[in-house]
Amino acid sequence: MTPDRPGFSADVDRKLAAGIQSGLLRGLHAVLVSQGGSLILERYDDGLDQNWGQPLGHVSFGPDVLHDLRSVTKSIVGLLYGIALDRGLVPSMEAPLLPQFPEYPDLAADPRRMGLKVEHALTMTMGLAWDESLPYTDPANSEIAMELAGDRCRFSLDRPIVAEPGSQWIYSGGCVALVGALIERGTGKTLPAFAREALFDPLGITSFQWSAGRDGVALAASGLRLCSRDLLRIGEMLIAKGRWRDRRIISESWLAASFKPAISTGDGLHYGRLWFLGDAPAPAFGGNRPWMAGFGNGGQRLWLMPDAGLAAVIFSGNYDQPDASISPTRVWREIVLANLHAAEFRK
């Protein structure tokens, strides 16, 4: 589609197509961008795809085709926790974590773990050993080992202590498994059921899948599948500070806290409450502007830049590839931000 808004260069879609045809942007399945709630870029391509590691073969992508979010799921779970907290259904951020799992009295009796709080799970600062640097086909990868362990909550809470709680960021699907469990215990609903009632139905999202482990429990860290336009709709709701069509979906205070840096990731970015945070050059604004994003294996992205009214969704098929972040990052920086005109959205 050709943008008809003054917010973007008229040939942004052509530039995206040229990047794909040249091979500089590879493995892309979908690219959608909205500004101020208006869709200004939408492209779909064909390619090989998976459902949580299971091959789906060659897929022709479009607005109604479900796609793995992988770890963008984590950011959605963070929103669900905020909604549940707004309703008084889950523990506060300062609540001790281990008492929420009374079935593990031996862990609760360990004085070294007494400092763990709910906030540490939501910011991945529990200080417990976790390694997802290995391929997700490797049973030694901590997320896969957690699923194979049978009791994912005990597995996540029982890891060796390597740092004081709150002092170090360690990427951990186990943290999100615990957050998902707290949501289910507090709401009395499965994670997919609460997501449908609290987030998807209010946004008009009717189609989704949530992969489950061998125990039937939804994979909070990476199991959600959504259509591209529906994930973009979530992004647009976040740009609107938690409102959708005059309805409050999630409190503005939760979003502000979620998008506030809690800890450095060690590679130039920061982390909030299950959201990556950074800044990027936005030439139309005369310098860098902050962004927040959900990142997922294979090049899945939900990018947000509130200063520019921007939400962007990128789906890709580069699962388990070490360079999977290159194409979505180039789309965001060299296609989206580089072709932005900010006059309408300048603060």
Q: Classify burial at 65, counting beta carbons within 10 Å of its beta carbon; exposed 0-12, middle 13-18, buried 19 or more.
A: middle
Q: What phi-psi label fits residue 232: left (phi over 0), alpha (psi between -120 and 50 degrees) or beta? A: alpha
Per the structure block, which two tokens stand in for 173?
Answer: 């699907």
Please tell me the predicted confidence (pLDDT) of residue 342. 56
Q: Is the pLDDT of residue 347 over 70?
A: no
Q: What gap in Å lies between CA 281 and CA 276, rounded to an integer?
A: 17
The C-alpha atoms of residue 156 and residue 279 are separated, in whole angstroms, by 31
Place 150 in a pLDDT band, splitting at 50, 70 and 90. confident
Q: Which of 39, 24, 8, 1 is nearest to 338 (CA)?
A: 8
Cross-strand partners of 38: 35
- What's this model's pTM, rounded to 2 decimal places? 0.96
Query: Taking the domains of the chain in order of start, what are their residue ranges?
Result: 12-62+228-345
The H-or-E segment that residue 203 falls in is helix 201-203
Q: Is the pLDDT of residue 92 over 80?
A: yes
Q: What is the pLDDT of residue 4?
A: 42
Q: pLDDT tens-digit profile of 322-344?
A: 999 999 999 999 999 999 875 55
Q: What is the pLDDT of residues 225-271, one digit of tens each?
A: 999 999 999 999 999 999 999 999 999 999 999 999 999 999 999 99
Report, as an integer, the average pLDDT of 112-116: 95
CATH superfamily label, 12-62+228-345: DD-peptidase/beta-lactamase superfamily (3.40.710.10)
Q: What are the structure tokens assigned to 180, written together? A: 């998902």
**Residue among 80, 73, 67, 74 nearest 197 (CA):** 80
